[in-house]
Structure 1
Amino acid sequence: MSAPLFLDKFDMFRAQSPNQLAVIDLAGSSPIQLTYAQLDELSTRAAIGLLQRGVQPGDAVAYQLPSGWPFIVITLGLWKLGAIPCPLLPSLREREVTFIMQSSGSRLLIVPDEFRRFAYAQLVDRIRPELPALEHVIVIAQQQYDPAAHDLGGILWQGEISEDMLTEVTRRRATATSYSQLLYTSGTTGEPKGVLHTHQSLSNALLAHTTTLGLSASDRIWVPSPLAHQTGFLYGMLVSFYIGGTGIYQAVWDVDTARAAIEVHGATFVQAAMPFLSDITRSAQPPKGLRLFIATGAAIPRQLAQEAREKLACSIVGAWGSTEACLVTVGRPDDPPEKLWGTDGRAIDGMEIRVVDDEGHVLPAGREGNYQIKTPAMFATYLHHHEWYEAGFTKDGFFDTGDLAVIDEDGYLKITGRKKDVVNRGGEKIPVVEIEDLLYQHPAIADAAVVAMPDERLGERACAYVVLQPGQAGIDLSQITDFLGERGMAKIYWPERVEVIDEMPRTASGKIQKYVLRNDIANKLQQERTRA
């Protein structure tokens, strides 16, 4: 599959429908709206300004901006120069930003002056001695948000755009084989990797996605996920461009803003993590108007899926994807509920999935094994570590995801855990995802994760981390084990410790960072042994 490039699609829609809304940005005090023509001009001005700062084709440019029109304009401007966007999540701090800047080699860093009461210029001052390659720091004011009166810290060229300027920008424009993004993995294992995609690989992902789900220019794409994450970047911003539709962006998660995106601004489609779905479903006034919600990060618990479909009056489907592979499986709105809920969907057209044993033999339906994929939307390499890329593939071209999974007789995928998340209790593998699904049904529990804790005798035992529902005073281990026993779970699978926490550590895509929990329980056990 060789899909039309998303930059070409953007140009086509700009030429055909210049006054079509491209962006509705809800980050400011009032919505900012930009047409395709306006967005095109702003991004050309950004390209000229970046060119004047020495940005060349193939350069990685780092920017730590919240979701909104400045992020979008700068991204398009970089592509017009053939440069590589390297967006950083606004939540990252000194350690992570230093690592990414050193790894990417970016000579330019773009930050907001302040976002969510954090001063980014001060962060840059603290880490700049560790960044000898850094030549330019651009600080963008967040208070002055209107594009008509904003130069993006001097990035936007303010004068007349000459033919010579356009010629210089045009000859640098990205091609199919140019790198389109440098994203660092969110860190479910604590080991960030720089993932490089090309313009062709992301365009292949977009064609498969929009065709499979029947998205068109009449859809309005709601983007509550950070644009610096693949979910917001590819399945928010770029999906809207690929169909010639409108993207609706919110920089800070807030249910009232979400309601406005749906009920006031007409959002019809969203792909986002399950916590977003849970929050709007269980709000005092669940918003109506969405056509399709694709929940990623984990299979949708049946209880939440049923509740969401009733309260939101829209289709709810699960999906699986990764930074490296983009979306590979997704449910279809007309799939039977027993397949939609509790699974991660089935393979998108043109993509292949399989489950194999440790020797590489394909397993029959219903057997758990190593989850492997083959897709035309696969990334190009890991920055500085092509050997990691090569090690991830089998001889017949399948990529090992690091996940464990089951594929049923109808081709529906269910992720059962990550290889590193398995709890091996004296040789018995604990069905972690099954336990978590049951714990999620407990009336006192809002969120749950089961991880391995070290044990001298058995090697590992299971520890349940739980977040309680509002108003719940507490929960003990016996209440959890009684609940699991009542639902028929074998005693050998029951957690042997419970830890109550205020909030799960999550990546931007909503995945629980289980390595954080594993480290936490290991440290607690060590401290307890020391005191004893």
Structure 2
Amino acid sequence: MAGINFRIEGVMYCDPEAAKRYFEAGAWADKTFGQALADTARRLPQKLAFISDERNITFQELDEQSDRLAGALVKLGLEPGARAMFQMGTTVDTVIALCACYKAGVIPVCSLPQYREVEIGKLAALSEPQAYFVQADFSQFDLVGLAQKMCAEHRSMRQLIVARGEAPAGTHGMGALIDATPLEEARNLLATLAIGSEDVLSFQLSGGTTGVPKIIPRFHAEYLGHSIAWSNHSGAGENATLIWSLPLLHNAAHLYALVPTIALGQTTVLMSKVDVLRMGELIQRHRVTHAVSIGPVAPQIMACPQVLEYDLSSLKLFVCLTRADSLEAFIGVPCSNLYGTTEGLLLGSGPDVDEFIRHHTHGCSGCDQDEIILLDPDSEKPVAPGEMGELCFRGPSSLRGYFNAPEANATVFTRDGFFRTGDMMRAHVIDGQTYVSFEGRLRDNINRGGEKIGCEEVEVFLSRHPAVLDAKLVAMPDPLYGEKGCAFLILRNGRSAPEIPEMIEFLTSRGLAKFKCPERIEIVEGFPVTRVGKVDKPAMRQIIAATLAAEASKSESLSQKEH
């Protein structure tokens, strides 16, 4: 089973000797995603795999329906190694579509339904997908129309598959494809494919600093191994029930929700959108044991005392990016901080470790083969104990190279082959084990509720506004999303400053996703610069943080006077 049966040009594969070590150590699982699902379906056929408000699905039903859709993809002429653009939400239909692709060897390009012409166009040009999965009822926006437009502009996308809505002429309804493919026929077709465990499973996306998308190939063996290691590390597994309300196409969703369900028999409760009161109700009803907050979930919970009216006592662990101490104090169940990157590292801690580790560090890796070091960003020398350094890592699931991106690959690794995260960490040695805590970022991006925004990309679009001479985008603190974008603008002579709604309309009309748009504008005569004359973005971040703090203080003072 181990091996690469469908090699893809532009993908950097693991060194064979290293792959052998990872298999022998159990860090990689020598099976495909389809085999893992089939094994779980045979072992737990009637157990619920996924639960949602619309429908539930057992492991047997998921295995059979995804087999039938996978067979339909084969009949459409999609061969192993073909790519499929994805714009679907957090639904059981998305699970079926993803599983079908993985079984047929079709590689999902895991984009978001919030992406528009700019992002989809760049991804299509880079990955050259042959198919496009789109959810018709995701929002008021016409995603099917966007998909048709993008298919017309990118001729590689020959098959448009529409889920959860009417399929226009020339496209395929996902349900109709399943209905038209008997299970026996589908399985006979799939038996001829012989996908290897080292073949590419999916194309995940990196949160970069520029408008050039970076694609991260993930592989059957390593993705299964990575997710299983995390489940063991966090105390999950077959007896766990996890609740998930964030995008299902994300790397995080795969590692915490999708893959552990398929490989281990975990049950996952899906929410199509974040609604913390509904989340509390579902935790109580389904006796949820594990929950994950990436982005605004935890802050929304802490801002909503009504959540505490539900019985949350079944929760064994609630993990979040930061503020685990505050969340635990609020909901009264074990909480821990986590850190993850799509390039292949997961850090965290289970419910039984020391409170300081859970609350004041981001834990450690659950994989013994991961090598983690903190380096001086300039010299690449290890920092002294207790000092901040750039988190760098290599191991079973670490990136070997971005897809078709030689220029990026030339800069993202150290001389010793460690991936450079651009994140500054501090090490804490406790009882002989090293844990790390996040201290800040080197790279120029914004983390808005878990969605990465490349500042340079947005700045290009901001500078095209007729009133703008030059523009810089920086992160500003936000209590709900962690960070939002603030645009510092230098205006052209005689032009008025654009208001936020006008700027959002301008940017989205040119195909930029709405979540990337700035949510505050500051007009300046010039940008602060460093001693060597470079634009000083840290200074801008300090300026807007201080401005927000002063405004909050003034507002609080006025409120006190009124009362």
Query: 1:68 maps to which residue?
Result: 91
Query: 2:182 maps to which residue?
Result: 160
| Structure 2 residue 44 is the aligned partner of structure 1 residue 22 | no
| Structure 2 residue 290 is the aligned partner of structure 1 residue 290 | no
Q: Distance in 2 between matches of 1:47 and 1:439?
A: 44
1:55 Cα shift?
0.9
Query: 1:124 maps to which residue?
Result: 147
Equivalent of 2:250, from 218, 222, 229? Answer: 229
Is the CA contact (8 Å cut-off) linking 2:316 and 2:351 kept in structure 1? Answer: no
Equivalent of 1:476, from 529, 542, 550? Answer: 550
1:249 Cα shift?
0.8
Q: Distance in 2 between matches of 1:466 and 1:285?
A: 32
| 1:301-312 pair list within 5 angstroms | 301=323, 305-312=324-331
- What SS does structure 2 have at the residue aligned with 1:34? strand
Q: Distance in 1 between matches of 2:543 and 2:67?
A: 49
Query: 2:405 maps to which residue?
Result: 385
Equivalent of 1:455, from 514, 520, 528? Answer: 528
Name the aligned partner's letter for residue 331 of structure 2: L
Q: Distance in 2 between matches of 1:259 and 1:37?
A: 28
Is the CA contact (8 Å cut-off) linking 1:81 and 1:170 kept in structure 2? Answer: no
| Structure 2 residue 203 is the aligned partner of structure 1 residue 182 | yes
1:87 Cα shift?
2.5
Is the CA contact (8 Å cut-off) linking 1:326 and 1:377 kept in structure 2? Answer: yes
1:237 Cα shift?
1.0
Q: Distance in 1 between matches of 2:97 and 2:443?
A: 37
Q: Distance in 1 between matches of 2:375 and 2:485?
A: 24
Query: 2:373 maps to which residue?
Result: 354
Query: 1:105 maps to which residue?
Result: 128
Equivalent of 1:91, from 101, 114, 135? Answer: 114
Distance change (3 Å), C-alpha of 1:206 and 1:439: closer
Q: Distance in 2 between matches of 1:180 and 1:270?
A: 25
1:234 Cα shift?
2.1
Query: 2:417 maps to which residue?
Result: 397
Q: Distance in 1 between matches of 2:173 and 2:234?
A: 38
1:153 Cα shift?
4.8
Deviations 1:393-440 (A, max 9, x none): 334332211222211233221222221359xxxxxxxxxxxxxxx988
Deviations 1:282-307 (A, max 9, x none): 322234132111213xxx23xxx334
Name the aligned partner's letter for residue 405 of structure 1: M
Query: 1:333 maps to which residue?
Result: 351
Is the CA contact (8 Å cut-off) linking 2:132 and 2:160 kept in structure 1? Answer: yes
Q: Distance in 2 between matches of 1:189 and 1:169?
A: 39
Name the aligned partner's letter for residue 388 of structure 1: A
1:181 Cα shift?
0.6
Query: 1:416 maps to which residue?
Result: 439
1:273 Cα shift?
0.8
- What SS does structure 2 have at the residue aligned with 1:409? strand
Query: 2:36 maps to which residue?
Result: 9
Q: RCO higher in 1 or 2 (8 Å CA, sep ≥ 6)?
A: 2
Query: 2:338 maps to which residue?
Result: 319
- What SS does structure 2 have at the residue aligned with 1:228? coil
Deviations 1:66-87 (A, max 9, x none): 1111111111111211221223
**308-317 vs 101-110, greater mean Cα deviation:** 308-317
- What SS does structure 1 have at the residue aligned with 2:191? helix
User: How many residue pairs align between the two structures?
Assistant: 443
1:248 Cα shift?
1.0
Q: Distance in 1 between matches of 2:277 and 2:360?
A: 28
Is the CA contact (8 Å cut-off) linking 2:131 and 2:160 kept in structure 1? Answer: yes
Deviations 1:226-280 (A, max 9, x none): 1111111221111222221211111111123312331112221123314211212
Distance change (3 Å), C-alpha of 1:465 and 1:208: farther
Q: Distance in 1 between matches of 2:366 and 2:294?
A: 19
Distance change (3 Å), C-alpha of 1:160 and 1:245: same
1:344 Cα shift?
1.4
Deviations 1:147-175 (A, max 9, x none): xxx96253314353345x42221221532
| Structure 2 residue 134 is the aligned partner of structure 1 residue 115 | no
Query: 2:515 maps to which residue?
Result: none
- What SS does structure 2 have at the residue aligned with 1:369? strand
Name the aligned partner's letter for residue 378 of structure 1: S
Is the CA contact (8 Å cut-off) linking 1:61 and 1:108 kept in structure 2? Answer: yes
Q: Distance in 1 between matches of 2:486 and 2:477?
A: 13
Is the CA contact (8 Å cut-off) linking 1:449 and 1:464 kept in structure 2? Answer: no
Is the CA contact (8 Å cut-off) linking 2:244 and 2:268 kept in structure 1? Answer: yes
- What SS does structure 2 have at the residue aligned with 1:78? helix
Distance change (3 Å), C-alpha of 1:43 and 1:397: same
1:337 Cα shift?
2.6
1:225 Cα shift?
1.6
Q: TM-score, normalised by structure 2?
A: 0.72
Distance change (3 Å), C-alpha of 1:456 and 1:241: closer
| Structure 2 residue 193 is the aligned partner of structure 1 residue 172 | yes
1:367 Cα shift?
0.9
- What SS does structure 2 have at the residue aligned with 1:420? coil
Query: 1:376 maps to which residue?
Result: 396
Query: What value does the CA root-mean-square deviation take over the aligned residues?
Result: 3.2
Query: 1:136 maps to which residue?
Result: 159
| 1:517-532 pair list within 5 angstroms | none
Is the CA contact (8 Å cut-off) linking 2:89 and 2:272 kept in structure 1? Answer: yes
Q: Distance in 2 between matches of 1:46 and 1:317?
A: 39
Residue identity over aligned pairs, in percent, reads 21
Is the CA contact (8 Å cut-off) linking 1:356 and 1:372 kept in structure 2? Answer: yes
Distance change (3 Å), C-alpha of 1:307 and 1:58: same
Q: Distance in 1 between matches of 2:485 and 2:152?
A: 41
**387-396 vs 177-186, greater mean Cα deviation:** 387-396
Query: 2:505 maps to which residue?
Result: none
Q: Distance in 2 between matches of 1:224 and 1:158?
A: 32
Distance change (3 Å), C-alpha of 1:290 and 1:466: farther
1:22 Cα shift?
0.7
- What SS does structure 1 have at the residue aligned with 2:327? helix
Name the aligned partner's letter for residue 295 of structure 1: C
| Structure 2 residue 361 is the aligned partner of structure 1 residue 343 | yes
Distance change (3 Å), C-alpha of 1:204 and 1:279: same
Query: 1:432 maps to which residue?
Result: none
1:391 Cα shift?
4.0
Q: Distance in 1 between matches of 2:544 and 2:286?
A: 36
Q: Distance in 1 between matches of 2:256 and 2:118?
A: 28
> Which sections of structure 1, spanning at least 5 residues, go unmatched?
145-149, 423-437, 469-473, 484-532
Q: Distance in 2 between matches of 1:362 and 1:447?
A: 29
1:479 Cα shift?
4.3
**117-126 vs 54-63, greater mean Cα deviation:** 117-126
| Structure 2 residue 281 is the aligned partner of structure 1 residue 260 | yes
